[in-house]
Amino acid sequence: MFTGIIEELGKISALTKHSSGAKIQISAKIVTENTNEGDSIAVNGVCLTALEITPNGFAADVSQETLNRSTLGNLKVGAAVNLERAVTPSTRLGGHIVQGHVDATGKFLSAIQSGDFWTVRIGFPKSIGQYLVYKGSISVEGISLTIAELTDDYFEIAIIPKTWELTNLSTLKNGDTVNLEADVIAKYVERIMLYGKKQEGITMEKLIEAGYAK
């Protein structure tokens, strides 16, 4: 599990594709500290298993399914990537629950600067529209962000200077694809509602009583 608070901006130092996926090498120094072989690291919001760890980076195997579903399949050597180690019980949960399981890819539409702050607009596919809410959480490239404006086709997020500086948002160009992961709570509520209808045991009234909806 992750929180979407990016620890380091790494770089793809090597990328080898093969018939069943790919192997990537990432240059990094912060996230390799106290990281053991087999630990999870989120790369642009995708949960990967760290291998061949050194003080200057790590490697990871990426399945074809992950390459197809996320932007990792489009990465090239030299690309900047957002990195975050999995949380520990003592870690402050500064963002929201991010699983590293990308739901879909969206489009980076624009970034407008106002002083030191930025307003970023992201287009999203219809398949995740039901999970997005105004002032709700969304993971973009593994970054925990809050939706400041929402339409049927795009949402906007307000980016503080620190986030702009420490993540790859500043490297994106209009039209670039980005990884999106919706808040897992929304997905569970949807599943409860759909399954409840089949079982005739869950109703909106019961959800309200349990504190899931208002």
Q: Do 119 and 70 share a structural domain?
A: no
Q: pLDDT tens across 31-62, in order?
A: 999 999 999 999 999 999 999 999 999 999 99
**Cβ-based neighbours of 96, under 8 Å, separated by 6 or more:** 3, 4, 137, 139, 144, 183
72 and 122 inside one domain:
no
- Domain annotation covers residue 41: yes
For tokens 């399914």, name the residue.
Answer: 65
Summarize pLDDT for 59-84 with one digit per residue, the tens. Answer: 999 999 899 999 998 999 999 999 99
The domain of 176 spans 104-186
Let me know if residue 206 belongs to a domain: no
Could you tell me if 41 and 58 are in contact, meaning their C-beta atoms sit under 8 angstroms apart? Answer: yes
Indicate whether 4 pLDDT > 90: yes
For residue 177, the domain's CATH number is: 2.40.30.20
159 beta partners: 118
Euclidean distance between CA atoms 200 and 214, whole angstroms: 20
Q: CA 107 → CA 60, 124, 155, distances in Å?
A: 25, 7, 11
> Cα-flanking dihedrals φ and ψ of residue 188, to 5°?
-70, -40
The position carrying tokens 């399954």 is 195
The tokens for 198 are 């089949």
> CA 52, CA 46: separation in Å to the nearest integer?
18
pTM of this structure: 0.81
Q: How many domains does the chain have?
A: 2
